[in-house]
């Protein structure tokens, strides 16, 4: 296809039901003409304002404070910087490979569902979240509650996970501390309590 043909296609012929087609063409042009499905999916996620806001919140809540405490990253306002000496190309590849290995090992061990919390696209409205925290006041599984000298953080959790059809109704929501929440992953409560007993 000639440049003029592609341009015409984008400008006039393209029938849009969503932004996916121009987004994909634009990204392919930008990335030298080719990209993997995974790269495209990442680009789509990047363009999705709803999921961006959700990830911003997640990132600030979880990996940033922990990595900052370990001196791995620093945070200046909205800028996150890796605190490491200048890496060579080979060193960068090695770090990326190590990260990918940790991720795939973790997913294999926990089951792929562990991502569902991270990939939640329909966050609980803040008013509902507030009502749940007000009702429970502490982690309903271990009883931990925030105080001046503990860094317990309470999270609103879906009893039946969203990925399994659970709703954002207050009846399907409960308060968990971060530890219980991560431990629970994407299992429903019955599975969670059963596995606790087995351990």
Which residues sit at the interface with Zn ion, rule CB under 5 A?
Answer: 139, 141-142, 144, 177, 180
58 neighbors 66 (Cβ within 8 angstroms) = no
Residue among 10 and 152 whose Cβ is closer to Zn ion:
152
Give me the least distance between CB of 137 and Zn ion, in Å please.
13
Q: How far is the CB of 171 from Zn ion (least distance, A)?
A: 20
Q: How far apart are CA 37 and CA 99, in angstroms?
A: 20
Quote the CA–CA distance of 83 and 76 in Å, as a whole number: 12
Q: What are phi and psi of 173, to 5 degrees?
A: -120, 145
**Closer residue to Zn ion in complex, CB, 124/177:** 177
In whole angstroms, the minimum distance from the beta carbon of 149 to Zn ion comes to: 17
Our CB check for Zn ion shows the closer of 139 and 159 to be 139
Give the relative orientation of helices 20-30 and 37-47 as an angle to the nearest 10 degrees.
Answer: 120
- C-beta closer to Zn ion: residue 162 or 174: 174
Phi, psi of 72 (to 5 degrees): -85, -40
We find the least distance from the C-beta atom of residue 143 to Zn ion, in angstroms, to be 7
């Amino acid at each position: 296809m000639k440049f003029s043909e592609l341009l015409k296609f984008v400008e006039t012929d393209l029938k849009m039901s969503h932004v996916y087609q121009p987004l994909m063409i634009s990204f392919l042009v930008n990335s030298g003409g080719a990209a993997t499905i995974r790269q495209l999916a990442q680009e789509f996620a990047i363009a999705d304002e709803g999921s961006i806001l959700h990830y911003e919140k997640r990132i600030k809540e979880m990996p940033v404070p922990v990595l900052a405490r370990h001196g791995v990253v620093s945070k200046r306002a909205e800028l996150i910087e890796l605190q490491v000496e200048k890496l060579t190309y080979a060193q960068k590849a090695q770090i990326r490979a190590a990260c990918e290995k940790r991720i795939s090992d973790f997913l294999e061990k926990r089951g792929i569902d562990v991502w569902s919390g991270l990939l939640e696209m329909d966050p609980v409205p803040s008013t509902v979240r507030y009502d749940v925290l007000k009702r429970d006041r502490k982690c309903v599984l271990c009883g931990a509650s925030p105080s001046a000298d503990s860094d317990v953080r309470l999270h609103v959790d879906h009893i039946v996970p969203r990925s399994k059809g659970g709703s954002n109704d207050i009846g399907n929501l409960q308060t968990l501390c971060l530890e219980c929440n991560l431990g629970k992953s994407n299992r429903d409560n019955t599975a969670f309590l059963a596995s606790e007993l087995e351990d």
